[in-house]
Amino acid sequence: MPMTAASTFWLDALRDYKIDRPLPLPYDRYGGSHEHRTDRGLSASFDFGEDLSRAFLARTSMSEAVPRKLVSLVREYIPEKCRIWNLYGPAEISLGCTYHVVDLALDQTIIPIGRPLPHYRCLIHDEFDQLVIVGQQGELLVGGVGVFAGYLGRDDLTTKALVEIDGVTYYRTGDLVRMDSSGLIYYIGRQDHQVKLHGQRIEVDEIERCLLDTHITACVVVKFGEDHLVAYVQGSGISEEDLRTHCRSRLPPFMIPSMFVVLDHLPLNANGKVDRKHLPIPDFSSLSTSSSIIYQAPRTEMEERVHDLWCKREWVTIAVPDCSV
């Protein structure tokens, strides 16, 4: 975009957000009117204590769902005259395909990814490849000038990723979104981040959004085996019990992770995203199992009747569960 406006731009290719200190920024020496960062990069700037009050005309954040905590920090530290844009788009469509100008005066809990940029089209399809109605969740398909031609040497992946509709090639993003009555698109989560645990279908992105409302900078929720959800969080000064208490007050019981692992830094891949393959394997031996349940006698007449029925049928002593957990 800078080149189309005959402007000079500086590419901060050496910046590393995995370190504990800020690096010198190009505009400290050369100045600038616009800045473009990912939401993770902007969050790291606040963690590093950078001076973000520079007189930029606009800042853009490349993100899916902007964390509520980040919006609060932007509202507090970035000058009012600076316009904030939220852009969305995967690499397969040349990065940016939707935009939204963030109104910091509004107390929004969810920031939309907005509307299509010029020369792009967005469709939302359900699991049967039919268009959804307003407010209904579905997969985002993007068509337009920036859609890629395919994966080099991987025709199998290309066939799954691209679909032609009414003569236009669309890319299946794999992102779940919804559109409101005004045409704004809201990011919900990844299609492949849906997991099934004990018969319940769970959106791990919803758990991650809940955790990001605490004093942490990043998190990722991973399913282990058939019985456990593990939340890896990046932060300091917060305990597993604090995180569990926070989740209990906002999420149904089946969505609360079995374990919380607090790390100084989450492992990142070359694209700056969490590298799930290099997350530490949790130790589940500390978790309570059915064999470690302490016997508790019936406390009410109803509990005693149910207890007696089960004991007669199974010929075992049944522990009464602690319903306060």
Given this model, what pLDDT does residue 103 score? 81
Distance from C-alpha of 82 to C-alpha of 33, rounded to nearest angstrom:
10
pLDDT digits over 45-97, tens only? 665 555 555 555 555 565 566 766 677 777 777 777 778 888 898 889 987 89
Look-up: residue for tokens 């692992």? 261
Residues 6+ apart with CB under 8 A from 252: none
In a domain, 175, yes or no: yes
Distance from C-alpha of 198 to C-alpha of 29, rounded to nearest angstrom:
56
In a domain, 99, yes or no: no
Residue 293 scores a pLDDT above 70: no
* Secondary structure of residue 3 in the 3-state scheme: helix
Residue 243 scores a pLDDT above 90: yes
Q: Is the pTM of this model over 0.75?
A: no
Given this model, what pLDDT does residue 131 score? 96
* Secondary structure of residue 25 in the 3-state scheme: coil
Show the tokens assigned to 286.
């500390």
CATH code, 220: 3.30.300.30
Domain enclosing residue 140, as ranges: 115-191
Residue with the larger pLDDT of the pair 316 and 112: 112
Q: How many domains does the chain have?
A: 4
Distance from C-alpha of 74 to C-alpha of 105, rounded to nearest angstrom:
11
In a domain, 106, yes or no: no
CATH code, 154: 2.30.38.10
Given this model, what pLDDT does residue 195 score? 80
Residue 20 scores a pLDDT above 50: no
Last-in-domain residue among 145, 168, 191: 191
Q: Do the Cβ atoms of 269 and 249 come closer than 8 Å?
A: no
